[in-house]
Amino acid sequence: MIQHDVVIIGAGLAGMRCALEVSKDLNVGMLTKVYPSRSHSGAAQGGIAASLGNSEPDTWEEHMYDTIKGGDFLNDQDAVEEYVKAAPRIIYELEHMGCVFSRTPDGKIAQRSFGGHSKPRACFSADRTGHAILHALHEQLMKNAESVKIYNEWYMHALIVDGDRCNGVVVSNIQTGEVEVIQAKAVVFATGGYGRIFKITSNAFASTADGVMAALDVGIPMEDPEFVQFHPSGLYRQGILFSEAARGEGAYLLNGKGERFMETYAPSRMELAPRDIVARAEQSEMDAGRGVDGKDMIHLDLRHLGKDRIMERLPQIRQLGIDFLGIDCITDCLPIQPTAHYSMGGIPTDKFSHVILDEKGTRMNGFFAAGECACVSVHGGNRLGTNSLLDAVVFGERAGKSVLEYAVGIDYGNVNEGQEKARVLEKFEDVFQRDGSESYNDIRDEMKEIMMSHCGVFRDEERLKVCLETLKGLQERFKKGKVTDKGKVFNTEIYEILELGNMLSVAQLIATAALRRKESRGGHFRTDFPKRDDENFLHHSMVFATPDGLEIKPKPVIITKYQPAERTY
Amino acid sequence: MATFRIKRFNPEKQPEPYYEEFQLDIPSGATLLDCMNQIKWTLDGSLSYRMSCRSAICGSCAVKANGHALLACQRQAEHIIDNDETITLEPLGNMKPVKDLVVDFTPFWDKINKVKPYLEPKEAPPEKERHQSPQEFRLIDDSSTCIMCGACYSDCNTLEVDDNFLGPAALAKAQRFVGDSRDSQTLERVKELSEPGGIWDCTHCGECVERCPKPARPFDRIKEIMTVALDKGVTNNVGARHAMSFFNSVKRSGNLNENRIPVESMGFFNIPGLLSLVPVGLRMLLKGKVPPVIHHSIEEVDDVKRIFKELDQ
Distance of alpha carbon B170 from alpha carbon B148, whole angstroms: 9
What pLDDT is recorded for position B81? 93
What pLDDT is recorded for position A19? 98
Closest listed residue to residue B253, CA positions, set B303, B298, B312: B298
* Å between B194 CA and nearest CA of chain A: 22
Summary mean pLDDT of chain B: 94
Asked if A441 lies within 8 A of B42 by C-beta distance, the reply is yes
Q: Does B14 touch chain A (CB under 8 A)?
A: no
Half-sphere exposure of B157 (CA within 13 A, CB side): 9
Kindly identify which residue of chain A lies nearest to residue B58, measuring between CA atoms. Answer: A38
Asked if B147 lies within 8 A of A131 by C-beta distance, the reply is yes
Intra-chain end-to-end CA distance of chain B, in Å: 60
**A206 in Cβ contact with A34 (< 8 Å):** yes
Q: Does the N-terminal peptide bond of residue A113 adopt cis geometry, omega within 30 degrees of 0?
A: no
Closest listed residue to residue A326, CA positions, set A243, A200, A201, A235: A235
**A53 in Cβ contact with A117 (< 8 Å):** no
R_g of chain B, CA atoms, integer Å? 24
Given CA atoms A311, A317, A319, A321 in this order, what sign does their dihedral have? negative
Minimal Cβ distance to A204: which of B44, B54, B76: B54
What pLDDT is recorded for position B124? 92
pLDDT of B313 higher than 80: no
φ/ψ bin of A160: left (φ > 0), alpha (ψ from -120 to 50), beta (otherwise): beta
Closest listed residue to residue A238, CA positions, set A333, A313, A331, A334: A334
* Contact residues, chain A, for B63 at CB < 8 Å: none
Half-sphere exposure of A116 (CA within 13 A, CB side): 26
**B159 in Cβ contact with B165 (< 8 Å):** yes
* Contact residues, chain B, for A498 at CB < 8 Å: none
Beta pairing partners, A152: A32
Q: Which one of B52, B104, B131, B185 makes the best mutation probe of the A interface by having the most chain A beta carbons within 10 Å? A: B52
Distance of alpha carbon A493 from alpha carbon A513, whole angstroms: 30
Minimal Cβ distance to A103: which of B12, B127, B137: B137
Residues 67-96 of B with CB under 8 A from A: 74-76
Q: Does B105 touch chain A (CB under 8 A)?
A: yes
Kindly identify which residue of chain B lies nearest to residue A325, measuring between CA atoms. Answer: B29
Q: pLDDT 10s per residue in chain A (569 long)?
A: 999 999 999 999 999 999 999 999 999 999 999 999 999 999 999 899 999 999 999 999 999 999 999 999 999 999 999 999 999 999 999 999 999 999 999 999 999 999 999 999 999 999 999 999 999 999 999 999 888 999 999 999 999 999 999 999 999 999 999 999 999 999 999 999 999 999 999 999 999 999 999 999 999 999 999 999 999 999 999 899 998 989 999 999 999 999 999 999 999 999 999 999 999 999 999 999 999 999 999 999 999 999 999 998 899 889 888 888 889 999 999 999 999 999 999 999 999 999 999 999 999 999 999 999 999 999 999 999 999 999 999 999 999 999 999 999 999 999 999 999 999 999 999 999 988 899 999 999 999 999 999 999 999 999 999 999 999 999 999 999 999 999 999 999 999 999 999 999 999 999 999 999 999 999 999 999 999 999 999 999 999 999 999 999 999 999 999 999 999 89
Torsion of the alpha carbons at A525, B52, B69 and B63, rounded to the nearest 10: -130
Give the containing element (helix H, strand E) for A223.
strand A222-223
* Å between A308 CA and nearest CA of chain B: 14
Burial of A427: CB neighbours in 10 Å, binned 0-12, 13-18, 19+: middle
Q: Does B102 touch chain A (CB under 8 A)?
A: yes
Q: Which one of A40, A237, A323, A482 makes the best mutation probe of the B interface by having the most chain B beta carbons within 10 Å? A: A323
Half-sphere exposure of A329 (CA within 13 A, CB side): 30
pLDDT of B284 higher than 80: yes
**A434 in Cβ contact with A481 (< 8 Å):** yes
Catalytic position from the list A112, A275, A459, A521: A275
Half-sphere exposure of B209 (CA within 13 A, CB side): 11
Distance of alpha carbon A497 from alpha carbon A503, whole angstroms: 10
Distance of alpha carbon A229 from alpha carbon A220, whole angstroms: 23
Asked if B53 lies within 8 A of A140 by C-beta distance, the reply is no
**What is the SS3 assignment for B118?**
coil
Distance of alpha carbon A494 from alpha carbon A359, whole angstroms: 35
Axis crossing angle, helix B218-231 with helix B238-253, rounded to the nearest 10: 80
* Å between B281 CA and nearest CA of chain A: 45
* Å between A493 CA and nearest CA of chain B: 6
Q: Does B31 touch chain A (CB under 8 A)?
A: yes
Q: Is A17 a catalytic residue?
A: no
Distance of alpha carbon A556 from alpha carbon B90, whole angstroms: 55
User: In this prediction, does ipTM exceed 0.90?
Assistant: yes
Distance of alpha carbon B72 from alpha carbon B52, whole angstroms: 11
**B52 in Cβ contact with A34 (< 8 Å):** yes
Q: Which ranges of A114-265 does DSSP label H, i.e. alpha helix?
A: 129-143, 210-217, 245-248, 262-265
What pLDDT is recorded for position A91? 98
Asked if B12 lies within 8 A of A487 by C-beta distance, the reply is yes
Asked if B55 lies within 8 A of A43 by C-beta distance, the reply is yes
Distance of alpha carbon A81 from alpha carbon A92, whole angstroms: 19
A8 Cβ partners below 8 Å, 6+ apart? A15, A18, A19, A22, A28, A29, A30, A31, A187, A188, A190
Give the containing element (helix H, strand E) for A304.
none
Distance of alpha carbon A35 from alpha carbon A12, whole angstroms: 9
Q: How many CB pairs under 8 A join A and B?
A: 165
pLDDT-derived band of residue B291, with 50, 70 and 90 as boundaries?
Answer: confident
* B86-90 β-sheet, strand order: B18-24, B2-8, B86-90, B62-65, B68-71
Beta pairing partners, A160: A168
What pLDDT is recorded for position B83? 86
* Å between A531 CA and nearest CA of chain B: 36
What would the pLDDT profile of B229-280 be if each residue is shown by its tens digit?
Answer: 999 999 989 889 998 898 889 988 998 888 888 888 888 888 888 888 889 8
Long-range contacts of A439-442 (CB under 8 A, 24+ apart): A439/A481, A439/A482, A439/B42, A440/A478, A440/A481, A440/A482, A440/A496, A440/A497, A440/A500, A440/B41, A441/B41, A441/B42
Distance of alpha carbon B222 from alpha carbon B193, whole angstroms: 10
Minimal Cβ distance to B55: which of A101, A240, A483: A240
Q: How many CB atoms lie within 10 A of CB A284?
A: 16
DSSP letters of B261-307?
HHHHHH-TT-HHHHHHHHHHHHHHHHTT-PPPSS----TTHHHHHHH
Question: What b/e string do you get for A10-37 counting C-beta neighbours within 10 Å, with b at 16 or more?
Answer: bbbbbbbbbbbbbbeebbbbbbbbbbbb
What would the pLDDT profile of B27-85 be if each residue is shown by its tens digit?
Answer: 988 999 999 999 999 999 999 999 999 999 999 999 999 999 999 999 999 999 988 89
